[in-house]
């Protein structure tokens, strides 16, 4: 079943992805029935349910990171871009999470505050000493284009990250630094560029002191990717095992510091790939509210599946909090597990844990017999909003 069937959309004109009656293009009849048995260990089943190869795209993360390094190195960056007091990244969804992950991995090494602005316009306080980074995979996102247009009107220092669209054209016309990468497909599957380009941009502008090397993150990723690859059977594959544990339940992902940004990524990947309800909770804030919220409605007591993302270098006070939560909830909340990040530096630990969650989310989609790639409702929403607006938000 996909979102169109579930929500009962019937007008083919309004349903992106519906089969074209003349060409048969976009036919989704290959998606198997829910009743059919499914296994994560049969290559034919994986490719039948994942025909656009989201699994392959997840596995492409190290390659994307290496390409992002090259793209960033080839762009001329005026040193004045680094002479700022704040960085504001204008981005939404799959294009926004990259900057959040970079900021989380850099932690206190970030020389200035970084705000990821997921809204129209600019945040309060953005001014001449603010570096604006407009990041949009498609280059067509309304909120990002709106903030970019305001930044242009005010003449703020700006750099652009995109594959094309109106954002690329406007950046070229204004001769702004343009970190342009080539990759088709879904924005969330471009996470290697999302992280790599922001990381390299900020590092080159000296806005991250002592930055982690992307190359060592790539080396740390490779064995992790092999461990979770589709060819590794469930018995030996932790990502497949976790997907099975979550099957039929609602994932809630907890994390602290850098792992809180990763928890956010896991949540969005469960939404978009597995088309599943999901939530995330940052620590220690969750100890001040979420811990109390596990009682009602009682019928749903068994519904959530909790994952705690742990960083081996998390502060002792956070480790102590997890220990006490375990003491209090251990016997009651049995549907849960822990994932411990691995890697030689914070950026590598962020990326290996992102990859882990990405794999789990696609395996979960396959267990639900749902094609992970299309985001039907999201596409319909954008299309309807664009039709209603009918104007150019870049102000061009």
Nearer to ligand PA5, 291 or 379 (CB): 379
Closest CA to 257 of 200, 217, 315: 315
Nearer to ligand PA5, 62 or 187 (CB): 187
Region 258-277 residues binding ligand PA5, contact defined as CB under 6 A: 272
Alpha-carbon distance of 193 to 66, in angstroms, equals: 9
By CB under 6 A, tell whether 335 contacts ligand PA5: no
Q: Is residue 76 annotated as part of the catalytic site, yes or no?
A: no
Q: Which of 143, 272, 281, 314 is catalytic?
A: 272
Q: Which of 64, 67, 130, 136 binds ligand PA5 (CB under 6 A)?
A: 136
Name the minimum Å distance from CB 314 to ligand PA5: 28
Nearer to ligand PA5, 212 or 272 (CB): 272
Alpha-carbon distance of 259 to 341, in angstroms, equals: 8
Nearer to ligand PA5, 94 or 157 (CB): 94
Alpha-carbon distance of 281 to 253, in angstroms, equals: 6
Q: Which of 95, 158, 237, 373 binds ligand PA5 (CB under 6 A)?
A: 95
**Residue 313 CA to its chain's centroid (Å):** 23
By CB under 6 A, tell whether 224 contacts ligand PA5: no
Q: Is residue 137 annotated as part of the catalytic site, yes or no?
A: no
Q: Which of 76, 288, 292, 331 is catalytic?
A: 288
The size of the interface with ligand PA5 (CB under 6 A), counted in residues, is 15
Nearer to ligand PA5, 141 or 203 (CB): 141
Q: Is residue 264 annotated as part of the catalytic site, yes or no?
A: no
> x/- contact string, 367-386, with ligand PA5 (CB under 6 A)?
--------x--x--------
Burial class (CB in 10 A: 0-12, 13-18, 19+), 382: middle
Alpha-carbon distance of 34 to 214, in angstroms, equals: 41
By CB under 6 A, tell whether 144 contacts ligand PA5: yes
By CB under 6 A, tell whether 141 contacts ligand PA5: yes
Closest CA to 351 of 140, 97, 85, 125: 97
Closest residue to bound ligand PA5 by CB: 93
* Residue 218 and residue 66 in contact, taking contact as beta carbons nearer than 8 Å: yes
Alpha-carbon distance of 272 to 267, in angstroms, equals: 9
Residue ranges that bind ligand PA5, judged by CB under 6 A: 92-95, 136-138, 141, 144, 186-188, 272, 375, 378
Catalytic residues: 272, 288, 382
């Amino acid at each position: 079943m996909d979102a169109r069937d579930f929500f009962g959309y019937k007008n083919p004109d309004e349903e992106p992805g519906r089969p074209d009656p003349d060409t048969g293009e976009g036919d989704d009849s290959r998606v198997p029935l829910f009743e059919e048995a499914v296994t994560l260990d049969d290559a034919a089943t994986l490719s039948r349910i994942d025909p656009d190869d989201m699994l392959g795209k997840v596995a492409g993360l190290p390659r994307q990171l290496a390409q992002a390094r090259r793209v960033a190195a080839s762009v001329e960056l005026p040193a004045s871009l680094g002479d700022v007091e704040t960085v504001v990244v204008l981005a939404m969804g799959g294009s926004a999470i990259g900057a959040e992950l970079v900021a989380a991995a850099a932690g206190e090494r970030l020389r200035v505050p970084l705000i990821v602005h997921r809204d129209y316009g600019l945040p309060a306080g953005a001014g001449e000493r603010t570096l604006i980074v407009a990041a949009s995979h498609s280059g067509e996102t309304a909120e990002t284009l709106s903030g970019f247009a305001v930044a242009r009107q005010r003449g703020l220092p700006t750099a652009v990250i995109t594959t094309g669209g109106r954002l690329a054209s406007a950046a070229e016309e204004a001769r702004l630094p343009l970190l342009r990468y080539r990759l088709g497909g879904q924005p969330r599957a471009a996470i290697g560029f999302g992280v790599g380009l922001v990381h390299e941009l900020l590092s080159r502008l000296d806005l991250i002191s002592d930055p982690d090397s992307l190359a060592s993150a790539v080396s740390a990723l490779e064995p992790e990717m092999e461990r979770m690859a589709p060819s590794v059977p469930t018995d030996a594959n932790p990502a497949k095992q976790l997907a099975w544990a979550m099957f039929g339940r609602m994932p809630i992902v907890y994390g602290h510091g850098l792992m809180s940004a990763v928890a956010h990524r896991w949540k969005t990947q469960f939404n978009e790939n597995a088309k599943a309800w999901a939530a995330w909770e940052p620590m220690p804030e969750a100890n001040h509210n979420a811990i109390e919220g596990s009682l009602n409605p009682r019928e749903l007591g068994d519904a959530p599946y909790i994952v705690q993302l742990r960083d081996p270098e998390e502060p002792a006070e956070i480790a102590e909090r997890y220990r006490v939560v375990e003491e209090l909830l251990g016997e009651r909340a049995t549907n849960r597990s822990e994932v411990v990040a691995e890697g030689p530096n914070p950026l590598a630990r962020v990326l290996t844990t992102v990859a882990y969650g990405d794999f789990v989310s696609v395996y979960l989609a396959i267990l639900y017999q749902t094609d992970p790639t299309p985001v039907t409702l999201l596409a319909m929403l954008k299309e309807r909003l664009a039709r209603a607006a009918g104007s150019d938000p870049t102000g061009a």
